Amino acid sequence: MTQEQHEASFLRKIEEEVKIEARDWMPDEYRKTLIRQISQHAHSEIVGMLPEGNWITRAPNLRRKLILLAKVQDEAGHGLYLYSAAETLGITRDELIDQLHTGKAKYSSIFNYPTLTWADMGAIGWLVDGAAIMNQVMLCRTSYGPYARAMVRICKEESFHQRQGFESLLALSRGNEAQRKMLQESVNRWWWPSLMMFGPSDSESTNSEKSLLWKIKRQTNDELRQRFVDATVDQAKILGVTLPDPHLKWNPERGHYDFGEINWDEFWNVVKGNGPCNKQRLDARVKAHERGAWVREAAVAYAEKKKQKAA
């Protein structure tokens, strides 16, 4: 087949909702942008373990500790699924990890904020995983087969993540004055960075046009952000918290909540590496990778030995 015929057949598959599989012909740019997005998604899952891991030893009781442990372990699994999905596109795990450690690859800005109180564990589950779910449910219908299938499995666990976060905040909202104060203070810190998770506004999004054409994305950054706001405002009322945005107001004409302007300087500052915890997060990842080298070497040596025996 000629290049044109390949392109035409690829676009027909996209049109007819036929999943693109690893062995199928695909435009180099499609492959490249998928490696970019899936690997950064995987990095986000792995780096996302750090802010929560910080509180496992300080959970208020055994039940909360077990829930948090389970959630952090889930995130590790999500990262491994997504690294495997990225590898189907012809990049190695070592290259992916190197891109993260050298700062060549991004991960979600949200994980560069500190977790200062126990309420942050609930706010992350409720807001961060809540935002992630909005985006990931859409990605279950992404055109690349391995990514879509990984998403289906991951979304099942994400709903537990969001529910446990909300439930933990509900307990605080029914607590004493100090607990309610800690809850409100945490929501004040996590609300706006959670809205930034959906990416820049549509007019600033450099990848969206192609991602929408190729059905990698099914909705735009602003559409998903709006859906998240609409879904979350009423939940905030149940928690008895005020969301830190005086412009938040139901707009009957739009059928959505209006909300204030996001601080895009803060967003790009964090994305560029100058957030409160960027350096700490990358240092932790590099150190963990170095400390784990012996496990990888042992596994490779064992596999070699097994291969020699079988030969």
Binding site for ligand 3HC (CB under 6 A): 36-37, 40-41, 44-45, 48, 75, 78, 106, 108-109, 128-129, 132, 135, 158, 196-200, 205-208, 211, 221, 271
Q: Which residue, 7 or 223, has its beta carbon nearer to ligand 3HC?
A: 223
Name the 3-class secondary structure at 249: strand
Measured CA to CA, the distance from residue 239 to residue 158 in angstroms comes to 20
Nearer to ligand 3HC, 52 or 245 (CB): 52
Q: C-beta of 112: minimal distance to ligand 3HC in Å?
A: 9
The type of residue at 252 is: P
Q: How far is the CB of 75 from ligand 3HC (least distance, A)?
A: 5
Q: Which is nearer to ligand 3HC, 29 or 297 (CB)?
A: 29
Nearer to ligand 3HC, 46 or 239 (CB): 46
How far apart CA 79 and CA 154 sit, in angstroms, is: 10
Q: With H, G, I as helix, E, B as strand and everything else as coil, classify residue 251.
A: strand
Minimal distance in Å, beta carbon 201 to ligand 3HC? 9
Burial code (b: 16+ CB inside 10 Å, e: under 16) for 222-259 equals: bebbbbbbeebbebbeebebebebeebeeeeeeeebeb
DSSP characters over 28-53: HHHHHHHHHHHHHHHHHHHHTHHHHH
In the complex with ligand 3HC, which residue's Cβ is closer, 9 or 159? 159
Written as six digits, the tokens of 231 are 């879904």
Of 112 and 117, the one with the shorter C-beta distance to ligand 3HC is 112
CB of 27 to ligand 3HC, least distance (A): 16
Helix (H, G, I), strand (E, B) or coil at 248: coil
Q: How far is the CB of 95 from ligand 3HC (least distance, A)?
A: 16
Query: Nearest distance from residue 311's CB to ligand 3HC, in Å?
Result: 42
Contact 195, 228 (CB under 8 A): yes
For the bound state, the minimum distance from the C-beta of residue 142 to ligand 3HC, rounded and expressed in Å, comes to 9
Six-digit token pair at 35? 């490696």
Q: What is the DSSP letter of 258?
A: E
User: Residues near 15 by Cβ (< 8 Å), separated by ≥ 6?
Assistant: none
Alpha-carbon distances of 115 from 121, 130, 219, 224, rounded to whole Å: 8, 17, 30, 25
Q: Name which of 249 and 272 has its Cβ closer to ligand 3HC.
A: 272
